[in-house]
Structure 1
Amino acid sequence: MTQTDPQSEIQQISQLAQSADIAQNLRDIAAQYPGQVIFSTSFSWEDQAISHIIFSENLDIQVFTLDTGRMFPETYSTWSRTLEKYNHPITAYYPDALSLQKFIAEKGPNSFYESVENRKQCCHIRKVEPLQRALNGKKVWITGIRAEHSPNRHDMTQVEWDGSNNVVKYHPILHWTTDETIAFINTNNIPYNPLHDKGFVSIGCAPCTRAIRPGEDFRAGRWWWEDASKKECGLHVHAEVKS
């Protein structure tokens, strides 16, 4: 079996993603890696914008979501409205039932409030492990990450290597501002999560997400009981390629 050369893959995808036209970049990447490009959506503003491009252009990119079992009703409604509008499938990945059953039996349904360790274990079961299954065998993972969402994302590059999942990640709207994202949503009449209108910025599981107050950091609405430096669920924490 031929081993993947991360630097070569990063270089090739970076060359395919140079256009200011995101739809063209995604089209070129999908053509270069048929059946091997995947996009993860949480039905946020950002993800809805990218889903709109993928579905409207009928691109060969699989769209999936991680259904943790603790999502807001509004998120499920957005999911349904998206299916109704675009009539394209969205694959759902769920936590391993036995792992989740064991975790809750031992620590209870809300143990994530008790320690960072418990919270990260919950995130691993509900998000990280299902993500690994979704990405297995894929070459390119498209995300809706924006730099504004977290201090540790400001230095991200649009194309990077995820050594944990052995895929190249492409963040097409990494440098979009919130105003630009909202304008794209409104211009294209894209369904979006109504929680955004209530002060929710980064929307995850219901017990771990709240609206932010004026002047608060974007990430203040996630795991607000923890130190800001620990606010990652593990989906985007990975070993990077060494030059």
Structure 2
Amino acid sequence: MSDAISLVDINATLETKSPQEILEFAIDNHPDLALSFSGAEDVVLIDMARKIDPQIQVFCLDTGRLHPETYQFIERVRKHYKLNIELLYPETSAVQALVSKKGLYSFYEDNHQECCGIRKIMPLQRKLLTVDAWVTGQRKDQSPGTRANIPVIQDDKVFARAGAQLTKFNPLANWRSQDVWHYIRANDVPYNSLHDNGFVSIGCEPCTRAIGPNQHEREGRWWWEEATKKECGLHADNVKG
């Protein structure tokens, strides 16, 4: 797994495997692995991963702008799995500088990238410098404009530290939303109560809203912006080019 070409071959094999088998491969080959947690897909991965490795490392980005229901969800997951969830916070000085210059809702007037950069990307960068692999809950059908071609395993050149390889796993890449919710219900997995009120893709409170019938799940995120680039930058490799 020392070069990107080998990852292409490994991906071709893992594409036919179950999420549990992909997770087992990731855990077996990366002792310094971390799982990124925020939503329904991620807690499914926690449920699967804990059955393989009870000591799986889990982190969550606390932007300071999450819904109250999301904080309650994080705590339920922590207690349900007796799990040490590492909460990552933005730099206070960077948040203060942005708010002082542009106010609390500047993203409605320009775009969300600056705020997400401070509250999400910078904390994520600091965390990923300490691991050699990470796991996400991305699915191909989440966003036709940016996620349709995500592989199961990839070389993450965006967040890798200089001279090192960072491997990114997307075990649910080939699952649909229905698969996620079937697993949640079948395995009594805790989920964010906002899902019961029309919220599908859940981010920060000012940037997330419920969606109506026949709307795509990402339409509830950054709804005031161009529809094909619904990413905050956590998965910057999805929007290259």
Provide the TM-score with structure 2 as the length reference: 0.89
Residue of 24, 27, 45 corresponding to 1:30: 27
Residue of 66, 72, 78 corresponding to 2:73: 78
Q: Deviations over 1:197-241 (max 9, x none)?
A: 111111000000001111112211000011113321111013999
- Measure the CA separation in 2 of the matches of 1:13 and 1:33: 14
2:35 equivalent in structure 1: 39
2:129 equivalent in structure 1: 136
1:157 equivalent in structure 2: 151
Q: 1:79 offset after TM fit, Å?
A: 0.8
Given that residues 17 and 29 in structure 1 are in contact (C-alpha distance below 8 angstroms), is that contact kept between their aligned partners in structure 2? no
Q: Taking every aligned residue pair, what percent have the same amino acid on both sides?
A: 38
- Measure the CA separation in 1 of the matches of 2:81 and 2:176: 25
Given that residues 56 and 86 in structure 1 are in contact (C-alpha distance below 8 angstroms), is that contact kept between their aligned partners in structure 2? no
Distance 1:196 1:240, change over 3 A: closer
Q: 1:15 offset after TM fit, Å?
A: 7.5
Q: 1:182 offset after TM fit, Å?
A: 0.5
1:196-235 correspondence to structure 2 within 5 Å: 196-235=195-234
Q: 1:154 offset after TM fit, Å?
A: 0.9
Distance 1:21 1:143, change over 3 A: same
Q: 1:28 offset after TM fit, Å?
A: 3.0
Structure 1 unmatched ranges of 5 or more: none
Provide the TM-score with structure 1 as the length reference: 0.89
Distance 1:234 1:177, change over 3 A: same
**How big is the alpha-carbon RMSD for the aligned residues of Structure 1 and Structure 2?**
2.2
- Measure the CA separation in 1 of the matches of 2:12 and 2:239: 19
Structure 2 unmatched ranges of 5 or more: 161-165
Q: Deviations over 1:167-202 (max 9, x none)?
A: 221110111111111110001100000111111111
